[in-house]
Amino acid sequence: MRPQSLIPKRWILIVIFLTGMISSAAWGQIATDSLRAELTGDAVRLTWGAGTGPYGIYRAADPSGLDSADNYVGVTGETFFLDALDLEPGDPVLYFLVADPPRCNQHFICSNGNPCDGVETCFDRRCIAGEPVNCNDGDSCTEDSCSLSTGACSSTALDCEDGDPCTLDYCTQGLGCESSVDPAAGVGVAAELAGNPLGAYPHFEFVRSFNEDAPVSLAVDPGRTPDLVGETCDVYVVEARSAAGWCSDRTLSDARGAPDTRTFVAGQVQDNTFPLVPPLALDSSAGHGIGHGYDVVLDCDQDGQLDGAELVDGLEDRSGLYLVHDLTQPGPLATVQFDSIGPEPDHCDSFINPGNDDMRIYHPAELQNPGFGGRFPLVVISHGNGHCFDWYDFLGNHLASYGYIVMSHDNNTGPGIETASVTTLTFTDRILLEQDSLGGGVLLGHIDSSRIAWLGHSRGGEGIVRAYDRIVDDGYVPQAYTADDIVVLSSIAPTDFLERAGADPHDANFHLLYGAADGDVCGCPNSLYPFALLERATGNRHSTYLHGADHNDFNCCGFNDFEGPAGTAIGRAEAQQVQKAIQLATVERYAEGSLAAEDFFWRQWESFRPIGVDPSTVVVSEYRKEPAQRSFVLEDYQTEPSTTVSSSGGGVNFSVLGLTEAQLNDTNGSFSWTGTEPMNGMTRGEVSDDTRGAVFDYAAGGDSFYELEVVPVEQDFSDDRFLSFRFVQGTRHPLTAAELGDLNLTVSLVDGVGGASAIRIDTYGGGVEEPYQRGNYGSGAGWQNEFETVRIRITDFLANGSDLDLSNIRFVRFDFGSSYGSAQGRLGLDDVELTEE
């Protein structure tokens, strides 16, 4: 923090007679009567009577150019000897300037006494602000503070108690304090009501996010809510309220204009499914965020008010549903961009030390408005080798229009990943430390340095991971931020030169965007594996894998390196539609805590994708929650190599063929199916990695199963929200080639009293994608294996009175064959687990 100044950008011409008297002429609105000159013998001392300062004093014959170091004399409060000033007693007049910013000659002069905003220093006669102490511990459930007396950081558990006896208050990692209405408060009953009808069991999915151009439906399952049978209720869609909001205001006002009236009948959920919101019927705007929240209420006494026993979808701070607009379209904020160009003559790929001095910055135009006080997260874009910082206008402006300050910088990728990581680290410091001067100071005070997203492409995609790794592992200390301030790493087709030892995302939230037709970072066997970075990430992680997209589809101007089957290239424009939407959703999720964004990470792309993306574009998604949100990992194949015992200690029963557990690493340099390499096509880990999984197959003509026993202490699933697992088809295997399509199977929960409930995974809109049919690296067609996550709400297994006892689940079972899905196939399986919301 700079010392306080009372005279910003103003100056005063002072005429001093060396008699102890001051006469002055003032410019601006500065009162000069508080200036004092004390002449004592051969010295003079100037003071600013207001007691503040110090302020710099300059001497020159006229005002022009006074504010330069050459004319510097000292600061108010100091005593100046006339000899030193080249003056003699009797000189009738001198010209001095008191100016801002204050000048200095010693560090202490600059101190403002606040250790929490850093140590101010004097450099080149100017006070330089210190780097504020960053007390962010990365835990969104602690309150972090800095002691004004010592500068020491401390953290205390976040006190989420809002004092409202009607609410239950708690903290959620990544989101902070949340509240839900206390069930005992008599203010409604939380329920799942909004969603989409399905063509098969469970016949309805209760989901959170809906595209604005898609219908929203309402369903009541009489098996789960028998009290509603025979009831006629008014169905309200209301503007979302917080838990406290529901406690204080129970009146109902339908956002559609009027409620629907529905009568619920005995039978099945499909008998009680109704249209709720037609396409484009409600406002989807959300400021500069994404997802307009609404709550859904069944007002069964039809009195226009929420009563104690009535059902509410959204009886908490989270909304019952979010309507989402087209994420491929610009956000509501006008944007401005400018360049900061250094002295190096070439601005993209210089000849000596490329990547040292240029950046392009995109920001909301409203930063230019005087008095605007908003702060935005920072997004840093680190380009790839032979690429340029000005190749990401489409992405920079897109994100800026949603309220981000985006900086794309020169990246020193030529020598390698270490140099690239240094440029990411130092450019991030630069924009934070130089925000008072970049673009004329337009960014000053508007960057939220505790919310930084690093996006990198190719070598730059590995570079951002290396940069994070250097902070975590190698003791690199940035000046203006910490590892905890990096809210997400999003790597686009990254290399993996440094492998696990040097390119480890650790516990950072991580996103991988990657094209299946990449002709550069190809995912070829025995090459650099982009998916290995994903596998290493131990925080929240998700991937977006696009069929038909090549390496340079994700920038404006790189060579077309498409390698894939004829007719499958989706082209740069379409790839960037996906990129804009999914990277927006990614930063929204982790920088803004957007729950509406999360659905784009895992729901079957066939049924839920950004509006502006071509429906024929194939995208395969993986999503895994961080460990804190995994309530029970049934099997991850990491700790128990036996095929008959799971990593959680339960037994494994199976009739599938060729069951093998091993490292997910294709080691023979070919994608051909030879029969001797079970992990063919698994480009998931380098030799130094430890990610493991299982593979097996089943042939046509019969059914097969794979069943995981649940250990007794984990058999109560009633408090869990999702069953999550990931499957993949084995590339070029004869059974994969014979089936050649989305592979479908059935997953069941089996309880301890003979109850079972089964769901076919394609009910949600697609099965396990077949490998992109790219050739080369051996015979046949099919590129690297594409894991796809399937997440099923635990309560879906209760649909239509399944009588499943969720408190006593003995087995999670996967059934294969024509009775349960696809007739034949070769599969990989991993990460069977239960997660929280």
> Would you tell me which residues interact with another protein (CB under 8 A)?
343-346, 349-354, 384-387, 412, 414-419, 458-459, 493, 495, 497, 517, 519-522, 527-528, 550-551, 558-564, 566-567, 569
Question: Min. distance of Cβ 671 from another protein in angstroms?
Answer: 17
C-alpha pair distances (Å), 831 with each of 273, 396, 827: 33, 35, 14
Task: Tell me whether residue 412 or residue 604 sits nearer to another protein (CB atom).
Answer: 412
| Element of type H or E holding 272 | none
Task: State yes or no: cis peptide before 8, omega within 30 of 0.
Answer: no
Question: Min. distance of Cβ 563 from another protein in angstroms?
Answer: 5
Task: Tell me whether residue 529 or residue 673 sits nearer to another protein (CB atom).
Answer: 529
Task: Tell me whether residue 180 or residue 382 sits nearer to another protein (CB atom).
Answer: 382
Task: Tell me whether residue 569 or residue 792 sits nearer to another protein (CB atom).
Answer: 569
Task: Tell me whether residue 41 or residue 345 sits nearer to another protein (CB atom).
Answer: 345
Task: Tell me whether residue 552 or residue 672 sits nearer to another protein (CB atom).
Answer: 552
Question: Min. distance of Cβ 356 from another protein in angstroms?
Answer: 10
Token pair in block for residue 682: 């698994």
Question: Min. distance of Cβ 523 from another protein in angstroms?
Answer: 11
Output the DSSP codes for 578-607.
HHHHHHHHHHHHHHS--STTTHHHHS-TTT
CB atoms within 10 A of CB 332: 14
Identify which of 423, 381, 416, 414 has the alpha carbon closest to the alpha carbon of residue 498: 416
Question: Min. distance of Cβ 526 from another protein in angstroms?
Answer: 12
Question: Min. distance of Cβ 459 from another protein in angstroms?
Answer: 5
Task: Tell me whether residue 356 or residue 789 sits nearer to another protein (CB atom).
Answer: 356
Identify which of 505, 618, 633, 639 has the alpha carbon closest to the alpha carbon of residue 569: 618
Output the DSSP codes for 336-379.
EEEEE--S-S-SSS-SSS-SSS-EEEEEEGGGGSTT----EEEE
Contact 358, 347 (CB under 8 A): yes
Task: Tell me whether residue 232 or residue 688 sits nearer to another protein (CB atom).
Answer: 688
Question: Min. distance of Cβ 424 from another protein in angstroms?
Answer: 15
Question: Min. distance of Cβ 392 from another protein in angstroms?
Answer: 16
CA 558/CA 448 separation, integer angstroms = 32
Contact 783, 671 (CB under 8 A): yes
Task: Tell me whether residue 504 or residue 553 sits nearer to another protein (CB atom).
Answer: 553
Question: Min. distance of Cβ 389 from another protein in angstroms?
Answer: 14
Contact 284, 323 (CB under 8 A): yes
Question: Min. distance of Cβ 527 from another protein in angstroms?
Answer: 7
C-alpha pair distances (Å), 685 with each of 467, 504, 795: 20, 12, 34
Task: Tell me whether residue 385 or residue 577 sits nearer to another protein (CB atom).
Answer: 385
Question: Min. distance of Cβ 386 from another protein in angstroms?
Answer: 3
Task: Tell me whether residue 520 or residue 640 sits nearer to another protein (CB atom).
Answer: 520
Q: How far apart are the first and last CA of the chain?
A: 42
CA dihedral 270, 750, 623, 588 (to 10 degrees): 50
Pairing of strands 189-190, 311-313: parallel
CB atoms within 10 A of CB 442: 18
CA 432/CA 514 separation, integer angstroms = 30
CB atoms within 10 A of CB 350: 18
CB atoms within 10 A of CB 77: 15
Task: Tell me whether residue 491 or residue 729 sits nearer to another protein (CB atom).
Answer: 491
Task: Tell me whether residue 87 or residue 348 sits nearer to another protein (CB atom).
Answer: 348
Question: Min. distance of Cβ 617 from another protein in angstroms?
Answer: 16
Question: Min. distance of Cβ 493 from another protein in angstroms?
Answer: 7
Task: Tell me whether residue 346 or residue 719 sits nearer to another protein (CB atom).
Answer: 346
Contact 714, 632 (CB under 8 A): yes
Question: Min. distance of Cβ 59 from another protein in angstroms?
Answer: 33
Identify which of 782, 791, 671, 653 has the alpha carbon closest to the alpha carbon of residue 720: 791
C-alpha pair distances (Å), 559 with each of 185, 282, 572, 680, 817: 63, 43, 11, 30, 44
Q: Residue 509 has what DSSP assignment? A: -
Strand partners, 772: none
Task: Tell me whether residue 349 or residue 448 sits nearer to another protein (CB atom).
Answer: 349
Q: Residue 537: CB partners within 8 Å, gap ≥ 6?
A: 489, 505, 506, 507, 508, 509, 510
How large is the C-alpha radius of gyration of the chain? Answer: 32
Question: Min. distance of Cβ 126 from another protein in angstroms?
Answer: 25
CA 169/CA 182 separation, integer angstroms = 9
